[in-house]
A and B are shown apart, each in its own frame.
Chain A
Amino acid sequence: MIQLEQVTKTYPKASRPSLDNVSVSIDKGEFVFFIGPSGSGKSTIIKMLLHEVTPNKGRVIVNGKDVTSMRSWKRPHFRRSIGCVFQDFRLLPNRTAYENVAFALEVIGKTKAVARRVVPEVLELVGLGGKEHRYPHELSGGEQQRVAVARAFVNRPLILLADEPTGNLDPDTSIEIMRLLDRINRTGTTVVMVTHDSNIVNQMRRRVIEIESGRIVRDQARGVYG
């Protein structure tokens, strides 16, 4: 599903590479944590999987497509198979929960009728049934992140990328969000999550890949934060 083959990425003006000869293989349906200190290169991996940055060396293959050589005009279509959740939610403040999710469908050409059918379903799935018409500022942090998860999942992507999704949430809420991601993972979606949250990693007992200074120092099935 996701393959990094001897990937090296050095940003312009950086003294050392953000990723240094990294090779990782992630199968379909896996749930993987990337952990490591700030600046270790975790976010660079997420950006690479989104075709936001390209490696200097090595190959990145996502969904069977070689992202390294992908032309930028193909990027939009490629991204439709990937859902994305961030620490800061990235919701549109002037749109309701329903509209936020529907927006993601409409801008890729789905009709309003499709949105009317699919959006309530996915909002129900993330546990926001009854709160469809609230604006982000009327929702708690956890609820906002649920909207973001719903938006990421509404297209039924093959991969869900989560960049510190619990970074802004309290421990209890974080666990709820993790349950949600776990549920999504059980539908067959590959989940890749970057996090600092040792609690969560220890509770979930999933594959853990630890990165330090751009190198993989640990890759452990059913690992802990360590």
Chain B
Amino acid sequence: MRMKYVLSEVLVGLWRNVTMTIAMIITMGVSLTMLGASGLIYTKVADMKELYFENIEVSIFLKTDVTEEERTDLATRLEADPLVSQVTYVDKEEAFKRFQEMFRDSPDLLSAVKADQLPESYRLKLVNPEEYKTISDQYAAVGGVDQVVDQSQVLDKIFNLFTAGQNVALAAAVAMAVAALLLVANTIQVAAYSKRREVAVMKLVGASNWFIQAPFVLEAVVAGLIGSILGLGALVALKKFLFDDALSALQGLFAPVSWGEVFLTFPVMAGVGGLISAVTAWVTLRFYLRV
């Protein structure tokens, strides 16, 4: 009977102040969507980093007037370097082939460049791609080396963009969470005020504190959970209409987001939403009801 009483109080409570309840749920939902999105971006960026860095190369381009000695010297040093996992030598002919391949749509450019105009190079795969800087420092000044070029620098710019996006989503999540928090606190205050007579009688006759607080706290938790369902709906819509539909042309660029990953964010959103609401409600009650 006590459970039934508490649950009916929760429903009555949510309904009594329905506009505020809806505002609370929507803010909570938006905040949790942002949180979920930011979490997804975070895991995706990690995935993509792994994927991209695996195929990444550092190229050491040689000067056109490089001597045979300098070339073999460099080769031995690279072979012995513990940071380098694999070395490939690309001579002028090979470089020209790659050049032709890359620019086959621009015949003018192709006809203007001869094979011996292209530099020879060593293509390195690194044990840890992020140690590019050390490689660059070590070899840039070696005799016969023209320049050290790292593809990961370009990628870093892309990833910085993703990270910035993630941070924006996170900041929005926090801002909305603050708004949601204040709304929860306000809703609980209104609820406590409208039930002040009942609460006074309950305190007088010795109802236990949890029994007095439970309906209010659960009211907030239920709103938080509905908010997280809303957040899940928003993420599903984002994946379906934005990611799979409008951005499908860019699919090769992004690591794919699976449905599993989208649904996995739900327990996190529900947990965060429920917990934040519960704690806020409880703290508000401690100040407001002094129970």
Query: Which residue of B has the minimal Cβ distance to A81?
Result: B206
* Contact residue among B2, B197, B201, B208 (Cβ-Cβ distance under 8 Å from A76): B208
In the docked arrangement, what's the CA distance between A155 and B207, Å? 12
0 or 1 for each of B189-214: is its CB under 8 Å from A? (1 = yes):
00000000110111111111101100
- Interface of B, helix, strand, loop or mixed by DSSP: helix
Whether A84 contacts B198 by the Cβ 8 Å rule is no
User: B61 to nearest A CB, angstroms?
Assistant: 75
The answer to the question of B1 belonging to the interface, with a C-beta cut-off of 8 Å to chain A, is yes
List, sorted by A's number, 26 A–B pairs whose CB atoms are closer than 8 Å.
A75-B206, A76-B206, A76-B207, A76-B208, A76-B209, A77-B206, A77-B208, A78-B206, A79-B203, A79-B204, A79-B206, A80-B205, A90-B201, A92-B198, A92-B201, A103-B198, A103-B201, A104-B205, A107-B207, A107-B211, A107-B212, A108-B205, A108-B207, A108-B208, A111-B1, A151-B201
Q: Identify the closest chain A residue to B202 (Cβ).
A: A107
Interface residue? B287 (CB, 8 A)? no
- A109 touches which one: B2, B200, B204 (CB < 8 A)? B2
Complex Cα distance A76/B207, Å? 6
Cα A111 to Cα B5 with chains together (Å)? 11
Quick one: given A90-B200, A93-B197, are A112 and B1 in contact (CB under 8 Å)? yes
A199 to chain B, nearest CB (A): 28
Chain B interfacial positions (CB closer than 8 Å to A)? 1-2, 5, 197-198, 200-209, 211-212
Nearest CB on B from A80, distance (A): 4
Known contacts A79-B206, A106-B1, A109-B2; can you find 8 more A-B pairs with CB under 8 A? A76-B206, A90-B197, A90-B200, A90-B204, A104-B201, A108-B208, A151-B201, A151-B205
Footprint of B on A, CB under 8 Å?
A: 73, 75-80, 82, 84, 90, 92-93, 103-104, 106-109, 111-112, 151, 155
Alpha-carbon distance between A93 and B195 when the two chains are bound, in angstroms: 12
Chain A neighbourhood of B1, CB < 8 A: 106, 111-112
B126 smallest CB distance to A (angstroms): 62
Q: How far is the CA of A92 from the CA of B5 in the complex (A)?
A: 16
